[in-house]
Structure 1
């Protein structure tokens, strides 16, 4: 994917980039991509990357959604064993990941959005049939 194909949306002080699982908060960019559990934070004020806590489960093709609490919800994706139902929350103030309740449907390449109510809607994506989920 070329850098020209990335689109940015601005949500509060976050910038979410479509095409990669990343976001920025207060001049820092958080990126988690590939079948990895690792996570790094980029601080643009000092032009430096810093390793932070690792997710419990390596994943790719997941979503990362900024919650009202400034924590980041990582949903589903694809791992070494296939499509995933698992979800984790990252707390930037501690650098820690916590495993939370799983979705009912395993999916990757899906969409996720924070609703005004504080709930997160997850829709579509790919499932075990290798077809789009309706």
Structure 2
């Protein structure tokens, strides 16, 4: 990732999409980057300690998702990584000191509130 690049993931609440942009801070402009593999909204992202961005869950016009994708700012590409065990949207996320990502709560299938918690390890991408 260049020192003038700041990765921003934008999402709209009314429809699913797969388009992303990054802001070039020094140049003060937005630039298109590659699209995600899966359209989604009401997902959440986390900036990992290695600078990559993990996009987690959400929903699209058909389903609640358990899928996750990893964005690499140095290549501008998205990669599908291992899915969560549970589908969820509107979840919370925390990046722990060791780099592990903690995903909590949200809404799961059947409009139920999820009380499950999952961990993502960036070294193993699981």
Mark yes or no: TM-score above 0.5: yes
Report the counterpart of residue 90 of structure 2 in structure 1: 109
Partner of 1:60: 41
What is the match of residue 31 of structure 1?
Answer: 9
Match of 2:120 in 1: none
More strand by share: 1
Q: Which runs of 5+ in 2 are unaligned?
A: 116-126
- TM-score relative to the length of structure 2: 0.81
Shift, 1:27, TM fit: 6.1
Mark the CA change 1:76 to 1:26 in structure 2 (over 3 Å): closer, same or farther. same
TM-score by length of structure 1 reads 0.76
How far does residue 79 in structure 1 lie from its aligned partner after superposition? 1.1
Superposition RMSD in Å = 1.5
- Provide the residue aligned with 2:64 in structure 1: 83
Between the aligned partners of 1:29 and 1:126, the Cα distance in structure 2 is 26
- Could you say what secondary structure the match of 1:60 adopts? coil
* Cα distance per residue 1:23-74 (max 9 Å; x no partner): xx85635132031111001223222111001100000111110111100000
Gaps of 5+ in 1: 1-24
Distance 1:26 1:65, change over 3 A: farther
Equivalent residues, number:
110
After TM superposition, the runs of 4+ consecutive aligned structure 1 residues lying more than 4 A away are: none
- What's the counterpart of residue 99 of structure 2? 118
